[in-house]
Amino acid sequence: MADGVLPAALTVAFLLLLGTISAAHGQLQTGFYSDSCPGAEDIVTAAVQEAAASDATILPALVRLQFHDCFVRVGCDASVLITSAGSAAEVNNNKHQGLRGLDVVDRAKAELEEQCPGVVSCADIIALAARDAIAMTNGPSFEVPTGRRDGLSSNVRDADVLPDVSDSIQVLRSKFAASGLNDRDLVLLTAAHTIGTTACFFVKDRLYSYPLPGGRTGSDPSIPAAFLSELKARCAPGDFNTRVPLDRGSQGTFDDSILRNIRAGLVPIASDAALEASNATGALVGAYLGAASSSFAQDFVGAMIKMGAIGAITGDAGEIRDECSAFNTN
């Protein structure tokens, strides 16, 4: 995995997987733009590279953007990019707090409209940008099925279903299942937190207002003492903006370190730590640190592709937006 490229045997497996995705979702397939806009994927890659050259933190942000687009009720349709609907737009839901990367998608879209007007959807740009971001952080390189079209609605309440950092493992499993994702997908997509940081805002409740017996509040007792001191030193009471690594010691590189930190209790947000609270998800974490370690990258890609097909609009439904932030007016 050092060079981020999947070996040939895994490539064959992925071609089979992608064939299944294509069959199940109509025109969702690899190389969808090979004739209509041959340079589409290169244009998106160039936009991501340009953004990362000045700010490497945009890479995990782009992965998060795809999750936030796909996991809402309507699925992977670029509804999260709409700003023209005012306060009623999905992006204004508090679950999207701190969402970044929309400008990178906009820049890629502008270039694509110059080269191939009315061809490449904003939903596909999100998926391709997330793929590129993973590869650029030493993660696996892989083909993304494309052919999504953009949705025609963006409702602020649609994002209520997004997982929350305070969700229990039972709630997380239920939310993933509602989107057609299983326990393995939950573990693997959580592992995307191998890159990036989180704001103290999302950690503070574990540190200072965790419910304790007798109606008291304090620190989450499952956090190892040394790590608790480390987090409190970074996230003082009332500090909501300082950022801490999601994957302690390996925040800039895609690897399985996040799983080791989850197993050791060394993750800042409660929803990551919650994987150890279920025998099912805990066993999967252990498996990827042991006998199944060699398939971690392959399985992660499979989970990303599966998530990227949630609610995908294909064929003649939806639209290809002229600008990603606004519905077409004609």
Pairing of the two strands 197-199 and 210-211: unpaired
Beta partners for 75? none
Q: Is 106 labelled as part of a ligand binding site?
A: no
Cα distance between residue 152 and residue 83, in whole Å: 13
Instruction: Kindly name the residue from 6, 41, 59, 68 that is annotated as catalytic.
Output: 68
Q: Is 90 labelled as part of a ligand binding site?
A: yes
**Which secondary structure element, helix H or strand E, spans residue 138, and what is its range?**
none
Q: Is 42 labelled as part of a ligand binding site?
A: no
Q: Is 96 labelled as part of a ligand binding site?
A: no
Q: Is 77 labelled as part of a ligand binding site?
A: yes
Compute the 3-state secondary structure of the chain and give helix, strand, coil in percent, each to the nearest 5: 55, 5, 40
Q: Is 194 labelled as part of a ligand binding site?
A: yes
Alpha helix ranges (H) inside the chain: 8-24, 40-54, 58-70, 102-115, 122-136, 169-178, 183-190, 204-208, 225-234, 257-264, 270-273, 279-288, 296-307
Q: Is 75 labelled as part of a ligand binding site?
A: yes
Please say if 96 is a catalytic residue: no
Neighbours of 174 (CB within 10 A): 12
Residues annotated within the binding site for substrate are 163
Residues annotated within the binding site for heme b are 193
Catalytically annotated residues: 68
Residues annotated within the binding site for Ca(2+) are 69, 72, 75, 77, 79, 90, 194, 247, 255
Residues annotated within the binding site are 69, 72, 75, 77, 79, 90, 163, 193-194, 247, 255
